[in-house]
Structure formats: C-alpha cells, structure tokens
Chains A and B, each alone.
Chain A
Amino acid sequence: MSVSAYKAPAPGDAAVIFDGVSKHFAASGKSGGFTALDNVSLSVGRGSITGIIGRSGAGKSTLIRLVNGLEKPTGGKVLVDGVDVGALDAAGLRDLRRSVGMIFQHFNLLSSRTVFGNVALPLEIAGMDKHAIEKRVRPLLDLVGLADKHGRYPSELSGGQKQRIGIARALATEPKLLLSDEATSALDPETTQSILELLKRINADLGLTVLLITHEMEVVKAVTSDVAVIDHGRIVERGHTFDVFTHPKHETTRAMLSGLPGSKLPDAVSRALKPQATTGDRAVVRLTFFGAAAERPLISQLIKSVGAEVNIIAGTIDEIGGRPYGSLVVAYGADAETAGRAERFFTENGLVTEVLGYVA
C-alpha cells in the first residue's frame, strides 16, 4: 500500500485558489503588528470537502474570511472561480458574496426573525420578491429537516437546529461554495455528527464545494476529502485526508492526531517507555494498516511468525474519507531474533510500522 502523491487540483478544477497570500495586521494601540498568514498557497478542488485544520490563532479564521472578502490580504491573491476577490469593487464583492454561503460557530441567526425569516434574509437582501422567497425557503427547510419549525424563533431551537437553519440560510442563494467557520465547535459530539452528515449530503447532492476550518481532527476525519494543516500562518501539510491521517509528516499534524481516541497509549505504558532497549525488554510498535491488510487475520499470523508472545496495547479500526484504516500498538520481545522476524513479517505484509519505544 503506497501513498498516492498528492496533486493539487488544476487551476480549472479549483473553486478557490490562494496564491501566495499574506495577511499582516498593522500595529494598533498597545498591540504590535501581527502576521496572521504568511505566503499561503492552496487550492480547493471544485466539489471537494476541504478542511483546514489548525490550533486557535493559527490563522485559519483569517484564511476563510479572505474567500468572501470579509478580510483583505496584504499580499498575494485569492481567486474564487477564477475571480480575483481583491480586485472587486463594493458592488462586485456583494455579488460574489451572494454566490458564496457561509456558516458560523455561533450560528449568527437574527433573534428577531423566525426560522423562515432567517432563511429568507439573504434572499431579501438580494432583492427577491416575497412570492419567490416563499418558494425558495420551503424546500430548504425540508432539506435541513426543520420544515415544521418555520414559525419558531431561534431562541426556541437547540444548537444543532440553529446550525441547520444557518446551513439553510447559507444555501438560500444557491451558492457554488460553502464556507464553514468552526460550524460544529459549539455543538456536542452527537449533534456534530448529524451536522457533518448534512454537510456531506449537500456536498454530494448539490455538488457544492465545502471549505471548512476547524480545530477538531474528528471533523476533518469524518467529512473531508482533502485537508491542509495550518500552523503559525503557514500551511505545513497538505494532502488527501486519508494520506495525511495515515502518514502524517509534520510535527503539528502528528501532535493534533495524537489526541484522537485509539491513537493515545495508556498512561501506564507511555510513562514506562524508554528510548533504548536493554536485555529482556519488549519493543512497543505501532502498526498502521489499510486496504487489503485490514481484512487479513494479521494478529494470529504475526504471533505465528514472531514465535513469541505479542501483547496488544492499544488499537482502533476506523474509516477516513470512507476508507477503512487500522492502528494497532503491540509489544513483543526486543531481542534481535524476535525483532528480525517481526520486521520481515511487516515488510511481507506491507504494514507501516513505527517503533514507539521499549518497556521492561
């Protein structure tokens, strides 16, 4: 199983292109200047769900706001469907924004408007007449499963319902691109999953490109096809989500992945880990397997070929971007003979391994 080399979408296939984009906030008052984005180049494939993940303060909020011109870059260009956002005048920018939907962490619904009124707002802004608005809003409420709530006010809805209204509102002007700004960060895990399912569905059914930013690896894992990792205003890693998750290259990516359940070693083991083996120690090894390897009886074969005891310390079987993926941490004798046999077995079976350390 080899990792396919990542190829950025060709310019013609890109919904959004960041071309050497920088954003520097000038010093004001007490705070000094601050570089939020440093020469970022990235393209977002049309029809993809692309995730940008980073810790807070990494620059992802600024990055997504450049797409619909809520922020202006201080260097470089942002192209949306080939149009240079920075070159648009106020009217041109408003037209662009009407073709790009956006959803927010805190939903940003108007408390004074009903569910219907909130979804109708972008259409009123676009100057659509009442009758046409009515016709457009009803199916949207059906799509997000809240048709029965059309006369309710946001304060009467749960967080997940509010975000569904946010999504319906973002889709009202029939955009080709949806920007999601930490849309699930204020929601509980279960609601997060249902919102992500909805995003997946509209991506598939409407052919909508989704660009989402998040600090949650779970979100990236669950819905995105492509991911970029941002750290200190720079893109440090970029690729298909499956490849980035199974072969993280950058330290930041690894650090963020280590928080995922199944990736973490039990505390007792991680405390006892030593970098060097002494006689009688056991090696702790992470095996990553996917594709055909995930379906073979690897453990029993491993035990047979190693010819010694094998402990399972941690493990998870999961799906990333729809592809099965397993991660297993095992321990076996660190002596040269056992280790040699194990290595041969791993090579023969095309398993990716990483020696984490040794325990007594």
Chain B
Amino acid sequence: MSPDILLKIWGATLDTLYMVAAAGLIGSLIGLPIGVFLATSGKGELFPAPMTNRIVGLIVNAARSTPFIILVVAIIPFTRLLTGTSIGTKAAIVPLTIATIPFVARLVEAAIREIDKGLIEAARAMGATPMQIVFKVLLAEARPALTMALTMTAVSLIGYSAMVGAVGGGGLGDLGIRYGYQRFMPDVMLVVVIVLIVLVQLVQSAGDGLARRFDRRSRKN
C-alpha cells in the first residue's frame, strides 16, 4: 500500500471521527430533552401533555422508520440550506444529526422509564419541582443507562457515517467504496473495515467502562 493511500485512510478516519462527534454531540443535545419529554409527559406524569406526547412520539417513529439512505437523499435541500452544499463531510453531518435525534430520544426515554416510580414519589414528597426531579433524580439515576445509550448512538453513527460515503459524504465509508470497490483495491477495503472495527471496539469499551463507573446499584465491596 502506498504512503499516499495510507495518508488518505488517516484523513478519512479523521473525517469519520469528525462526523460522528459532531452529529453525535448535536443530535444528543437535541435528542436528550426530547427523550426526557417523551418519558415525562404522559397522562398523570411530571409534565402531563398527552396530546403533544403522542404527536412527538409519532414524529420520532416516522423519523426512525425512514431508511437512513433515503433520509440522506430526501433532506438534500435542507442540507444545502444549512451548509451550502450537499456533498462532503460537512454536509453529511446534517442527515447524521437528523437520524441521531429520534434514536437518542427513544433510548433516553427508555432509560428514564426504567427508573423506579418510588423515587419520583419520594422527590415529590420532599417538595421538589418537576425540573428538580428531572435533574436531581431522573437524569442522575439514569446516568449509567444514558451512558450506554450514548455509546450505542456513537456505534450506530460510525455505521451510518460509512453509508453517507455512498452519496459523497467523505470519511472511511466513502474511501472504501471509491478505492476498495470502484478501483478494485481489496486491501484498502480490508484496512477500512479493520479501522471501523477498531473504532467501534474503542467506543464500546470506553462507554461500558464509564457506565460501570457510574453504576452504583450493585457495587461489590
């Protein structure tokens, strides 16, 4: 493999990391409150708004059931509006972020619904405001599950980011398709796949380790 190709792989790896980090960060920042809302706005819950809850739920489901590759193409006008282009790493961040939001929202919702209702009742009995319950009880208690959720998000994003390569998104997927597939360079394809596997492993181990540190539920002495 020529040094030129190796340099390209390195560059593509950085692009992938950039896309995953940017989309993961922005998508999580938007998805987290939506997930909290979904978990707390049912009938008789902290912020009861059953109608809005159902509508948001429907939108989230719709977004989640749209195949990612179709989402990428469908929102090209929106992408162009935001970034001025529909090709390249920067443009790819837009559909990746859009896909991340509902994904994170549902994971956050599930993480929060797992929390014992008794804790919410105890906090209410202490005179906590709904907002205090969200921050001091729900988000604090869900921290291990949220960490796992964000890890899953990052892993999925690494996969999705390889797909945006198909529409000129840049990154490792793009490199694999253009060099490995279209130029018949199986060794490049192999390296790309290995780099992706290593990335996923690193993210997963880091996430697991962090979640374990946060989890005080069954700590052994």
Nearest chain B CB to A157 CB, angstrom units: 11
What 1/0 mask marks residues of chain A from 81 to 109 whose CB sits below 8 Å from any chain B CB?
Answer: 00000000000011111101010101010
B143 touches A (CB below 8 Å): yes
User: How many inter-chain residue pairs (CB < 8 Å) link A and B?
Assistant: 68
Decide yes or no: A95 and B127 within 8 Å by CB, A125-B136, A153-B216, A156-B221 being known contacts: yes
B220 to nearest A CB, angstroms?
Answer: 9
**Closest A-chain residue to B216, C-beta based?**
A153
A125–B118 CB distance below 8 A: no
Contact digits for B36-70, partner A, Cβ 8 Å, 1 yes 0 no: 00000000000000000000000000000000000
Contacts of A113 in B (CB 8 A): 140
Distance (whole angstroms) from the CB of A338 to the closest CB of chain B: 59
A126 proximal to B (CB < 8 A):
yes
A126 to B119, CA, bound (A): 17
B residues 92-125 near A (Cβ < 8 Å) are 116, 118-119, 121-125
Decide if A68 is an interface residue (CB 8 Å cutoff): yes
B218 within 8 A of A: yes
Q: Which of B121, B124, B126, B221 contacts A121 (CB 8 A)?
A: B126
> Do A122 and B143 have beta carbons less than 8 Å apart?
no
Determine the chain A residues whose CB is within 8 A of the CB of B221 once the complex forms: 156
Q: How far is the CB of A348 from chain B (nearest CB, A)?
A: 54
Partner of B140, one of A106, A112, A126: A112
- Whether, in the assembled complex, A278 has its beta carbon less than 8 Å from a beta carbon of chain B, the answer is no
Min distance, Cβ B110 to any Cβ of chain A, angstroms: 18
In the complex, the answer to whether B132 meets A125 with C-beta atoms within 8 Å is: yes
Contact A68 B125 (CB under 8 A): yes
In the assembled complex, B10 has its CB within 8 A of some CB on chain A: no
Tell yes or no: A316 within 8 A of B by CB. no
**Could you say which of B118, B123, B132, B141 contacts A112, with CB atoms under 8 Å apart?**
B141
The yes or no answer to A111 lying at the interface (CB within 8 A) is yes
**B216 with A155: CB separation less than 8 A:** yes
Measured CA separation A97–B219 after assembly (Å): 32
Kindly provide the distance from the CB of A126 to the nearest chain B CB, expressed in whole angstroms: 7
Q: How far is the CA of A96 from the CA of B126 in the complex (A)?
A: 9
| Contact indicator A108/B219 (Cβ below 8 Å) | no
Known: A125-B132, A156-B221. A110 touches B119 (CB 8 A): yes
Any chain A CB within 8 A of the CB of B182?
no
**Which residues in A have their C-beta under 8 angstroms from that of B127?**
93-98, 122, 125-126, 173
Is the CB of B217 closer than 8 A to any CB of chain A? yes
Interface flag for A13 (CB, 8 Å):
no
Contact B128 A70 (CB under 8 A): no
Contact A125 B128 (CB under 8 A): yes
Additional A-B contacts beyond A93-B127, A94-B127, A111-B217 (4; CB < 8 A): A98-B126, A98-B127, A125-B136, A156-B221
Using CB atoms and an 8 Å cutoff, list the residues of chain B in contact with chain A. 116, 118-119, 121-129, 132, 136-137, 140-141, 143, 214, 216-219, 221
A sample of 22 cross-chain residue pairs with beta-carbon separation below 8 angstroms, ordered by A number, consists of A68-B125, A70-B124, A94-B127, A97-B124, A97-B126, A100-B125, A102-B125, A104-B118, A108-B116, A110-B137, A112-B141, A112-B214, A121-B136, A122-B126, A122-B127, A125-B132, A153-B219, A155-B218, A155-B219, A156-B219, A173-B126, A179-B125
